Structure 1
């Protein structure tokens, strides 16, 4: 089974790329979706986060406690130490969900699977995959996409970028770069080509995990 990493800086089009890969029949594990589940009502991360950041937790659906993500972001974005404490809670739980996904996919004999991880390089996730797709777009388009999001500000955008590896470095390290700045059809063609290459010659891409074993 080929494990393919999918990553890219904020606003680069990673969500659209993951959606396209699913349409091509490739199972995708979404790390962001896993975080949402862990922080949602009754989520497994809620008790630990409540102990660390009590003001970030409130009653959710069916009276189950949930994390207020906006409030939590306000606490950790400006405090690197607080962010590290949060990551020490979330990362092991996300990894556990990732491992369960991979186990299911092996049982189903899937040839290619994707781990959609926003901070793949920043967290050392590249050592867990065979090849990496980085999605990229011009900086002006990235900024336009991100600043159109509800509640986003220039200051918050700048803080997020500071926590992420520069796009140029991600592209340099990638096995495949998918441009999302020229329309969905072009991006889809690039993704189809990548999937075809992996299916036709999988042994050429089973190297990174072996080298990091």
Structure 2
């Protein structure tokens, strides 16, 4: 089995690329989706998050804007949140790996792969990348996103150039959709031809 870590900064198109891998039959563990489940209605992390950040949860689970306001720009608060969330996501990832033990290739879709040291737990890393103006336009088109929030998020992520330099593969998303899909297919073919990466 080869474990491919898929990462990329906000607005780079990582979710689209992850969906392309899934459409090709590759099991994809989506760390963000796991976080949403754990923080959703009745989620396993609700009590711990409420205890650490009072007023950030309710019947619908975590109030994401309230939690973001409580942690963005505050390194100590972010570390407290990460200490709650990261172990739970790691447990979900381990269960996913066990469920797909026979797959020749698995993708771990992890936004902060390098930032959390997660690259040490994968065989290869693919970074999804686009030009800065494309990234900014995509991100600012999201509901509730502001330039200040975008800048705060970027400040917590390694620069795209650093991620690209550390990657085994770079997948461009500021090209025609079919070109990105073809790049994904080439990565799958390469990984399948070379078990273990």
TM-score by length of structure 1 reads: 0.91
- CA separation in 1, counterparts of 2:176 and 2:67? 34
- CA separation in 2, counterparts of 1:192 and 1:89? 36
Q: Deviations over 1:110-169 (max 9, x none)?
A: 100000000000000000100011000000000000000011010000000000000000
Which residue in 2 is equivalent to 1:71? 66
Which residue in 1 is equivalent to 2:173? 180
Greater RCO structure (CA 8 Å; 6+ sep) = 2
**Structure 2 unaligned runs (5+)?**
none
Which residue in 2 is equivalent to 1:88? 83
Which residue in 1 is equivalent to 2:103? 110
- CA separation in 2, counterparts of 1:181 and 1:57? 37
**Structure 1 unaligned runs (5+)?**
61-65, 206-213
Number of aligned residues: 197
State the 4+ residue runs in structure 1 displaced beyond 6 angstroms. none
TM-score by length of structure 2 reads: 0.98
Which residue in 2 is equivalent to 1:56? 56
Which residue in 2 is equivalent to 1:15? 15
Shift of 1:183: 1.8
Q: Which structure: larger Rg?
A: 1
Aligned residues: CA RMSD: 0.7
